[in-house]
């Protein structure tokens, strides 16, 4: 995530850096050794993931009485 209005060239640079990190052996080893699953999504794919996660978590929270 970044601030609203982030210039496209900055977005592209950040996405490239995060993609490189995500695909690195150091990162994947670190996460797997600690039992974490990972999923990478950039741009519109991340927005879709975020919206779906927000919706499903909100429904669960309402069902158990933690949200209205």
Q: Answer yes or no: is pLDDT of 55 > 90.
A: yes
Q: Answer yes or no: is pLDDT of 68 > 90.
A: no
Query: What mean pLDDT do residues 61-65 have?
Result: 95
Q: Are residues 30 and 52 in the same domain?
A: no
Q: Answer yes or no: is pLDDT of 1 > 90.
A: no
Quote the number of domains for the chain: 2
Q: Are residues 27 and 45 in the same domain?
A: no
Q: Is residue 33 part of a domain?
A: yes
Task: Domain of residue 16: give its range.
Answer: 7-37
pLDDT by residue (tens digit) across 5-48?
A: 999 999 999 999 999 999 999 999 999 999 998 888 888 898 89
Nearest partner of 1 among 49, 35, 37, judged by Cα: 49
Residues 22, 49: contact at Cβ < 8 Å? no
Structure token digits, residue 7: 């210039």
Q: Is residue 2 part of a domain?
A: no
Q: Are residues 45 and 33 in the same domain?
A: no
Q: Is residue 19 part of a domain?
A: yes
CA distance 57 to 53: 6
Q: Is residue 1 part of a domain?
A: no
């Amino acid at each position: 995530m970044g601030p609203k209005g982030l210039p496209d060239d900055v977005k592209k640079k950040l996405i490239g850096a995060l993609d490189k990190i995500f695909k690195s052996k150091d990162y994947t080893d670190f996460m797997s050794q600690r039992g974490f699953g990972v999923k990478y999504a950039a741009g519109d794919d991340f927005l879709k993931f975020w919206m779906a996660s927000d919706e499903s978590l909100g429904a669960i929270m309402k069902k158990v009485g933690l949200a209205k």
